[in-house]
Chain A
Amino acid sequence: MSISRPRILVIDDEPQIHRFLGPALDAAGYEPLRADAGQEGLRGIALWSPDAVVLDLGLPDMDGKDVLIRAREFYEGPILILSARDREAEKIQALDNGANDYLEKPFGVGELLARLRAALRQRASARAPAGPIRSGDVEIDLDKRRVTRGGAVVKVSPKEYDLLARLALGHGRLLTHKDLLVAVWGAAHATDTQYLRVFIGQLRQKLEDDPAQPKIIETEPGVGYRFISD
């Protein structure tokens, strides 16, 4: 194994998951690391400082959410959550607690690897010097507070700009409703999701080729939005 292979720590108590995820990650060019419980996972993160973590929320020894919170105290890399579909609230909470993305069980390996790549890229671009963020023909210049589409300046209101900038800075990361509302409107409006629907709608009208099938700002129903950057 070459030293350059990104290391992915999978924290899951189901041996069957490790059984296929290990070979899959290995085949996709990653170095898989395995932990079967929460404590073991936390030790693994601290010991190996993996490039990304895949964390199952249902662990035998401790709550996956607590693992996430404890991990975030010392670990900055991307954390992907594995969770069941019927635990919506749990997912949102996990995202608010610092998870980068989530996957619903059962999942295909292709999807997991795509999310993993996106999360690793975010990290890289977050480290990269600030420059215009692109998505298709849309360009957001954070220094000049300017949005252009196909070279022409798009007129956006200050709130629309704040929202768009916040989304774009996520670099494909899923941002929850609460996250966006608190950042743009303040903590007092943390539950006013209708604001988001209106402003996202306006932004899509201005930026998307087909606002009904958005390519730049994607919706995760009931959870939040993500900005798809190039």
Chain B
Amino acid sequence: MCWRSTGRLTPAHRARRLPADTPKRPDPEALLAAANKAGRGRLKVFLGMAPGVGKTYEMLRAARRRKAEGKDVVIGLVETHGRRETESLLRDMEVMPRKPIDHRERVVMEFDLDAALARRPKLLLVDEYAHANAAGSRHPKRWQDVEELLAAGIDVWTTLNVQHLESLVDVVQRITGVRQRETVPDNALSRADAIEVIDITPDELRERMAAGKVYVPETARLASENFFKIENLTALRELALRRAAQTVDDQLVATMREKGVEGPWAAGERILVLVSGDAMAGGLVRTGRRLSDMMMDAPWTVAHVDRPDRPPPGPAGAARASDALKLAEQLGGSTIVLTGADVVATVMAYARRNNVTQIVIGKSADSRWRELLGKSLAPALLREARGAAIHVVTEAAHEAVVEPPRPRSPAPWMGYLTGAGFVAIASLFAWGLDIAFDRVDLGMIFLAAVLAAGVLHGLRPALAAATVAFLVYNYLFLEPRHSFAIGSPIDLLTLVVFWAVALASGGLAGRVRDQGRDAQRRASAVSALLAASRVFSAAAGREAAARAIAEQAAAAAGGKAVVLLSHNGELESAAGAPSLDALDATPMAAARWAWEKGEPAGFGTGTLPQARWTFWPLDGVRSRAGVAGIEAGAMVPGSDTERLVLALLGQGAVALERAELATEAVETETLRRADRFRSALLNSISHDLRTPLSTVLGASSTLIDYGKTLKAAVRDDLILSIREEAERLNRYVGNLLDMTRLEGGALRLRTDWTDVRDVLGAAAERVTRRLGERQLVRDYPGQLSLVRVDGGLLEQAIVNILENAIAYSPSGARIEMAAYEDRANVVISIEDEGRGIPATELEGVFEKFRRMEEPSDRSQGAGLGLSIAKGFIDAMGGRIAAASPIHDGKGTRMLISLPKAVVTPHHLL
């Protein structure tokens, strides 16, 4: 490795950069980080260089002191490894029971996270930060458990050996030869609010080992001899101390930033790590992190360049690249995927835009021939990189990974066979030409065969065809004929030209084919997205949208998909494709996790990876609409398919949200209508009651105050108006009572054989006084069948209809009242010459409180009358209907038909 000198700033620099009395504005990011920490529990890590230094012992002693001070201290989990001194410290302490978890046919006792969250102590002790939980736990790693505890506001103390730190894994491996499986991302340590280094000298540790005081796990016993060598321990000790010092330094810097003190942080360094899908990716990311540490936490980014002109790397490569990006995020770096055909230009454009000062690249063994061709990345970058330092990391032999062979195109021998066929045809043709003409350049014909093979079948068949073609050409047509001997050196040129044409055409064809396949794949992804968006936008309602999402996602992923929506606060499966299967407890827990935390959960994630499903939150623009799950094994993580599915889910989430909003809008509209109806009803009642009251009150008070001075005629008119209005009020109250009776089911029918003509006469009598100038015409036949009805109710219904006809007729108009019969019914018809009812209103004319805009005579408390009439007629088994307009676009006809048959009792109510 090589790097540009960065150097920390000397105190002299600091003094210059910190003006004496200008208060500095605190760094907003630092304040934000502090605010995020506010509700969290505090994390303390007891850090050691190796097992056996006494971390757990120290932690327990400190905990006992806290408990003696009266703090609520609980031991969540402590591994004593049978050490008596440590065990004695557990006495009188509250120790939580462990939770049994079935793990490959044996029961493992694990830390019980849920019990700890329920217990909510002030301070919880959880040993062995780097521990990997047994499959079946909520999180695969214990540090994730701790993270959840901290988020819940619980203070946590834990222990950690330095060799478990993710970024140090390969360094430790170089030192000790042991590769750590249980690791903790560096972030998890940086988040610690306090670190206590438990330090003893390597000699002491070896003495303790000799005295049998150090527990060494079975698995590491073989390596332990090697591991506990003095030089190893010394190196590890240095690492532990350095890491602790660095964390202290980070915290100092953070505090200074928070307080607005300018300091020597981020000395303008920015690190860019380039990874491809090869085996070095992980190592490069770790190198980037260490480099960032050395440069006072300089921001670092891991980039992967996607080349649209290249066929995508195999699934293994894609997975490695995506793993590297994930690792970078775990280690606290940011990640980006760049797209561009020219790697160097793309990288340099990004680097210049972002002021990158350090670039880390890998140099793998297989790129040596590229180097020879001048195509190697490192020298190209070196030529281009102005001002940036380049770190080239060479591949460590042990990290090499055997790449599974890429699947080849089907039946490759077909290509060779066709190539041979082309050469055979060319030979025949050339032979014919050779006989027919003299001195023809037959090489061209063979060249055509090579070209054809290349264009149709790619590089290798083309090369093969070129070789065969040359041999045949040489044997048959070049002097000396019928021998493979080469006559003149210029003939060799023919071979070279054949090969060159094969290379060019085959390579070109191959690339065209790959690009075609690529374009096709992309086009199909785009059209899938388009099709999905059409389906989504057509989905009406939440359930339909959920079903569409499940179907589209299942089709895109090529497996099972499920969509869960929140129903009354509970997450429930709403749709599944190809079928809606019930989810087990574990996938359900993962789905709930995704819903509550808004992050992916289940298979392939950090939460509940043993679930056979992966769940993603469906985040819309305003809120989370639900959760979508894809069954494991349907698609490769990081593949194009996954990207397509995620894009689909994104679209689906918006569609789902839109459906929810639409439902809400409909509900609001319904409510608004109900509200409008209620206020219309109130207006109607208040108007119909208050207007007659106003007249009664006004006329009577006029009579009281000025009765003596009024003329007799005026006085009489006022008294008359009082009576009229009191009657009107009485009618209205009667209507309200009738309505209440109808609605309350209190209507009792007193049916008897009735002559409709008598009823019509009585009703006409009741409205005579209100007719005024209007004319009431009656038209009855001499003979009319009797019907069995309640005469009183029928009369009231007719009165209501007549009153309505009067209210809407101009003065002087005719109102026609007729009765006739057909085979089954006696029909009553009442016609007026009023304005009529618009077709749109006709249906609702019998609804309660329905009143047309403006009756010509408002003395009628309209709005209830027709609805009551309908109620009564219905109750008697009859039917009522309105027709309008009846002539010249004016007038209304009300028809009442009463059955002549005996009314059966169940029709009555």
B702-A16 in contact (CB<8A):
no
B699 to chain A, nearest CB (A): 4
A17 to chain B, nearest CB (A): 6
Q: Is A21 an interface residue (CB 8 A)?
A: yes
CA distance A58 to B687 in the complex (A): 10
B706: which A residues are within 8 A, CB to CB?
23-24, 27-28
A20-B858 in contact (CB<8A):
no
A32 to chain B, nearest CB (A): 12
A169: which B residues are within 8 A, CB to CB?
none
Contact check: which of B692, B701, B709, B714 meets A16 at CB < 8 Å? B692
Q: Is B441 an interface residue (CB 8 A)?
A: no
Stretch at the interface among A102-110, A145-153, A213-221: A102-110
Q: Is A131 an interface residue (CB 8 A)?
A: no
Given contacts A27-B709, A110-B705, contact A19 B718 (CB under 8 A): yes
Q: Is B694 an interface residue (CB 8 A)?
A: yes
Q: Is B721 an interface residue (CB 8 A)?
A: yes
B252 to chain A, nearest CB (A): 50
Given contacts A27-B706, A28-B706, A109-B702, contact A20 B721 (CB under 8 A): yes
A105: which B residues are within 8 A, CB to CB?
690-691, 693-694
Given contacts A106-B693, A106-B698, A107-B694, contact A20 B705 (CB under 8 A): no
Which residues in chain A, 112-171, are within 8 Å of chain B measured between CB atoms? none
Closest-by-CB residue of B relative to A20 is: B699
B706 to chain A, nearest CB (A): 3
Q: Is B365 an interface residue (CB 8 A)?
A: no
A21-B714 in contact (CB<8A):
no
Q: Is A14 an interface residue (CB 8 A)?
A: yes
CA distance A186 to B698 in the complex (A): 41
Which residues in chain B, 830-872, are within 8 Å of chain A measured between CB atoms? 854, 858-859
B721-A109 in contact (CB<8A):
no
Closest-by-CB residue of B relative to A28 is: B706
Q: Is B886 an interface residue (CB 8 A)?
A: no
Q: Is A201 an interface residue (CB 8 A)?
A: no
What total of A-B pairs shows CB separation below 8 Å? 76
Closest-by-CB residue of A relative to B695 is: A16
B858-A23 in contact (CB<8A):
no
Q: Is B710 an interface residue (CB 8 A)?
A: yes
Q: Is B583 an interface residue (CB 8 A)?
A: no
CA distance A106 to B701 in the complex (A): 11
Q: Is B79 an interface residue (CB 8 A)?
A: no
> Interface size of B by Cβ–Cβ distance < 8 Å?
28
Q: Is B686 an interface residue (CB 8 A)?
A: yes
A109: which B residues are within 8 A, CB to CB?
698, 701-702, 705
Q: Is A101 an interface residue (CB 8 A)?
A: no
B695-A84 in contact (CB<8A):
no
Q: Is A60 an interface residue (CB 8 A)?
A: yes
Given contacts A19-B721, A20-B718, A60-B854, contact A27 B702 (CB under 8 A): yes
CA distance A21 to B695 in the complex (A): 9
Q: Is B581 an interface residue (CB 8 A)?
A: no
Q: Is B717 an interface residue (CB 8 A)?
A: yes
Q: For chain A, which range describes its interface: under 10, 10 to 19, 20 to 34, or 35 or more residues? A: 20 to 34
A168 to chain B, nearest CB (A): 31
B698-A17 in contact (CB<8A):
yes
Q: Is A86 an interface residue (CB 8 A)?
A: yes
CA distance A60 to B854 in the complex (A): 7
CA distance A13 to B858 in the complex (A): 9
Contact check: which of A16, A19, A21, A23 meets B710 at CB < 8 Å? A23
CA distance A156 to B702 in the complex (A): 44
A60: which B residues are within 8 A, CB to CB?
854
Contact check: which of A17, A23, A58 meets B695 at CB < 8 Å? A17
A117 to chain B, nearest CB (A): 13
Given contacts A27-B709, A106-B698, contact A16 B718 (CB under 8 A): no
**Chain A 1-45 near chain B by CB (<8 Å), digits 1 or 0:** 000000000000110110111011001100000000000000000
Given contacts A86-B682, A86-B686, A108-B697, contact A23 B691 (CB under 8 A): no
A19: which B residues are within 8 A, CB to CB?
695, 699, 717-718, 721
B721-A106 in contact (CB<8A):
no
A14-B858 in contact (CB<8A):
yes
B710: which A residues are within 8 A, CB to CB?
23, 27
Q: Is B269 an interface residue (CB 8 A)?
A: no
Closest-by-CB residue of A relative to B714 is: A23
CA distance A27 to B695 in the complex (A): 17
A31 to chain B, nearest CB (A): 15
Q: Can you list 14 A-B contacts with CB-CB less than 8 angstroms, sorted by A residue number?
A: A17-B698, A20-B698, A20-B699, A23-B706, A23-B714, A23-B718, A24-B705, A27-B705, A27-B709, A28-B705, A58-B687, A84-B687, A106-B694, A109-B698
Other 6 A-B pairs with CB < 8 A, given A16-B692, A24-B701, A107-B697: A16-B859, A20-B698, A21-B698, A105-B693, A106-B690, A108-B698
The 6 A-B pairs of least Cβ separation, nearest first, read: A27-B706, A20-B699, A106-B694, A24-B702, A16-B695, A108-B701
